[in-house]
Amino acid sequence: MARIYLVSDLMTKNPDTVLVSATLRDVLQHMKQDNCRQLPVLDHEQRLVGIITDRDVRLAMNSPLLLRERWQDEALLDSVTAESCMTAGPLTVGPDLPAYEAAELLATHKFGALPVVVGDDLVGILSVTDLLRAFVREQRDRAGNNVVVDP
Protein backbone atom coordinates (compact mmCIF):
# COMPACT_ATOMS: atom_id res chain seq x y z
CA MET A 1 0.00 0.00 0.00
CA ALA A 2 1.24 3.48 -0.86
CA ARG A 3 2.24 5.82 1.93
CA ILE A 4 -0.02 8.81 2.57
CA TYR A 5 2.19 11.87 2.94
CA LEU A 6 1.25 14.68 5.28
CA VAL A 7 1.92 18.35 4.62
CA SER A 8 4.61 18.18 7.34
CA ASP A 9 6.49 15.54 5.34
CA LEU A 10 6.84 17.77 2.29
CA MET A 11 6.71 21.39 3.45
CA THR A 12 9.62 23.75 3.75
CA LYS A 13 10.01 24.21 7.49
CA ASN A 14 10.61 27.66 8.99
CA PRO A 15 10.40 29.48 5.67
CA ASP A 16 11.90 32.87 5.07
CA THR A 17 9.36 35.64 5.62
CA VAL A 18 9.07 39.36 5.15
CA LEU A 19 7.40 41.99 7.29
CA VAL A 20 4.48 44.04 6.02
CA SER A 21 6.83 47.04 5.93
CA ALA A 22 9.38 45.34 3.63
CA THR A 23 9.92 47.16 0.36
CA LEU A 24 9.51 45.41 -2.96
CA ARG A 25 13.28 45.56 -3.31
CA ASP A 26 13.58 43.61 -0.02
CA VAL A 27 10.97 41.10 -1.19
CA LEU A 28 12.79 40.49 -4.47
CA GLN A 29 16.10 40.13 -2.65
CA HIS A 30 14.62 37.48 -0.33
CA MET A 31 13.08 35.62 -3.27
CA LYS A 32 16.34 35.61 -5.18
CA GLN A 33 18.37 34.58 -2.13
CA ASP A 34 15.99 31.73 -1.26
CA ASN A 35 15.21 30.79 -4.86
CA CYS A 36 11.47 30.99 -4.17
CA ARG A 37 8.44 32.65 -5.71
CA GLN A 38 6.26 33.14 -2.62
CA LEU A 39 6.93 34.58 0.81
CA PRO A 40 4.68 34.66 3.86
CA VAL A 41 4.15 38.20 5.14
CA LEU A 42 4.17 38.81 8.88
CA ASP A 43 3.01 41.78 10.92
CA HIS A 44 5.27 43.34 13.53
CA GLU A 45 3.97 40.86 16.15
CA GLN A 46 5.19 38.00 13.88
CA ARG A 47 1.66 36.90 12.92
CA LEU A 48 0.91 35.71 9.41
CA VAL A 49 -1.15 38.36 7.63
CA GLY A 50 -0.51 37.64 3.96
CA ILE A 51 1.52 36.08 1.20
CA ILE A 52 3.38 37.88 -1.57
CA THR A 53 4.39 36.29 -4.84
CA ASP A 54 6.72 37.20 -7.65
CA ARG A 55 3.58 37.81 -9.72
CA ASP A 56 2.33 40.34 -7.16
CA VAL A 57 5.61 42.21 -7.47
CA ARG A 58 5.53 42.12 -11.28
CA LEU A 59 1.96 43.46 -11.32
CA ALA A 60 2.91 46.28 -8.96
CA MET A 61 5.92 47.20 -11.07
CA ASN A 62 4.64 46.75 -14.61
CA SER A 63 1.46 48.59 -15.35
CA PRO A 64 0.93 48.55 -19.11
CA LEU A 65 -0.96 51.82 -18.72
CA LEU A 66 2.00 53.84 -17.47
CA LEU A 67 5.24 54.72 -19.17
CA ARG A 68 8.00 55.31 -16.66
CA GLU A 69 11.65 56.10 -16.57
CA ARG A 70 14.13 53.71 -14.92
CA TRP A 71 14.51 56.00 -11.90
CA GLN A 72 10.75 55.75 -11.28
CA ASP A 73 10.98 51.96 -11.21
CA GLU A 74 13.81 52.26 -8.69
CA ALA A 75 11.69 54.60 -6.58
CA LEU A 76 8.79 52.11 -6.65
CA LEU A 77 11.08 49.30 -5.52
CA ASP A 78 12.11 51.38 -2.52
CA SER A 79 8.73 52.86 -1.57
CA VAL A 80 6.04 50.24 -2.23
CA THR A 81 5.62 47.78 0.65
CA ALA A 82 4.74 44.11 0.78
CA GLU A 83 1.54 45.02 2.58
CA SER A 84 0.30 47.04 -0.38
CA CYS A 85 0.62 44.18 -2.89
CA MET A 86 0.27 40.99 -0.85
CA THR A 87 -2.74 38.71 -0.72
CA ALA A 88 -4.12 39.38 2.76
CA GLY A 89 -5.54 36.59 4.91
CA PRO A 90 -4.16 33.75 2.79
CA LEU A 91 -5.63 30.27 2.79
CA THR A 92 -3.56 28.15 5.17
CA VAL A 93 -3.24 24.48 6.01
CA GLY A 94 -2.08 22.53 9.04
CA PRO A 95 0.93 20.21 9.05
CA ASP A 96 -1.23 17.11 9.71
CA LEU A 97 -3.37 17.56 6.58
CA PRO A 98 -2.83 14.83 3.98
CA ALA A 99 -0.60 16.31 1.27
CA TYR A 100 -3.02 15.26 -1.48
CA GLU A 101 -5.70 17.47 0.10
CA ALA A 102 -3.30 20.42 0.10
CA ALA A 103 -2.45 19.63 -3.54
CA GLU A 104 -6.16 19.73 -4.38
CA LEU A 105 -6.41 23.18 -2.77
CA LEU A 106 -3.40 24.42 -4.74
CA ALA A 107 -4.88 23.13 -8.00
CA THR A 108 -8.41 24.36 -7.31
CA HIS A 109 -7.33 27.88 -6.39
CA LYS A 110 -4.36 27.97 -8.78
CA PHE A 111 -2.01 28.94 -5.94
CA GLY A 112 1.72 28.34 -5.99
CA ALA A 113 2.02 27.78 -2.24
CA LEU A 114 0.13 27.52 1.03
CA PRO A 115 1.41 28.76 4.38
CA VAL A 116 1.41 26.01 7.03
CA VAL A 117 0.27 27.07 10.49
CA VAL A 118 -0.26 25.59 13.92
CA GLY A 119 -2.64 27.88 15.76
CA ASP A 120 -1.31 31.36 15.02
CA ASP A 121 2.26 30.21 14.37
CA LEU A 122 3.71 29.89 10.89
CA VAL A 123 5.64 26.60 10.80
CA GLY A 124 6.21 26.11 7.09
CA ILE A 125 5.13 26.62 3.53
CA LEU A 126 4.03 23.98 1.04
CA SER A 127 4.68 24.85 -2.58
CA VAL A 128 3.85 23.19 -5.87
CA THR A 129 7.60 22.61 -6.21
CA ASP A 130 7.63 20.68 -2.91
CA LEU A 131 4.84 18.45 -4.22
CA LEU A 132 6.56 17.92 -7.56
CA ARG A 133 9.82 16.94 -5.84
CA ALA A 134 7.94 14.38 -3.74
CA PHE A 135 6.22 13.03 -6.83
CA VAL A 136 9.53 12.65 -8.69
CA ARG A 137 11.14 10.97 -5.67
CA GLU A 138 8.31 8.49 -5.32
CA GLN A 139 8.19 7.69 -9.02
CA ARG A 140 11.95 7.15 -9.17
CA ASP A 141 11.77 4.89 -6.11
CA ARG A 142 9.01 2.86 -7.75
CA ALA A 143 11.09 2.56 -10.89
CA GLY A 144 14.01 1.33 -8.81
CA ASN A 145 16.14 4.34 -9.62
CA ASN A 146 17.32 5.97 -6.40
CA VAL A 147 18.60 9.18 -7.96
CA VAL A 148 18.45 11.95 -5.36
CA VAL A 149 16.28 14.97 -6.04
CA ASP A 150 17.44 18.19 -4.37
CA PRO A 151 15.35 18.92 -1.26
Q: What is the CATH number of the domain that holds 11?
A: 3.10.580.10
Average per-residue pLDDT in the chain? 87
Stated pTM of the model? 0.84
Domain assignment present for 150: no
C-alpha closest to that of 50 among 117, 99, 104: 117
Domain assignment present for 1: no
Strand positions, DSSP E, the chain: 12-13, 18-19, 38-42, 48-53, 87-88, 113-118, 121-127
Sign of CA dihedral 139, 140, 141, 144: positive
Please tell me which of 50-59, 66-75, 78-87, 89-98 the model is most confident about, judged by mean pLDDT. Answer: 89-98
Domain of 21 in residue numbering reads as 7-142
Domain assignment present for 102: yes
Domain assignment present for 2: no
What does the pLDDT average to over 25-44? 94
pLDDT tens digits, 97-149:
999 999 999 999 999 999 999 998 999 999 999 999 999 988 888 887 655 55
Residue 47 has pLDDT above 80, yes or no: yes
Domain assignment present for 149: no
Domain assignment present for 118: yes
* Number of domains the chain contains: 1
What does the pLDDT average to over 55-76? 66
Cα–Cα distance measured from residue 54 to residue 18, given in angstroms and rounded to the nearest whole number: 13
pLDDT of amino acid 38: 96
Domain assignment present for 59: yes
Domain assignment present for 148: no
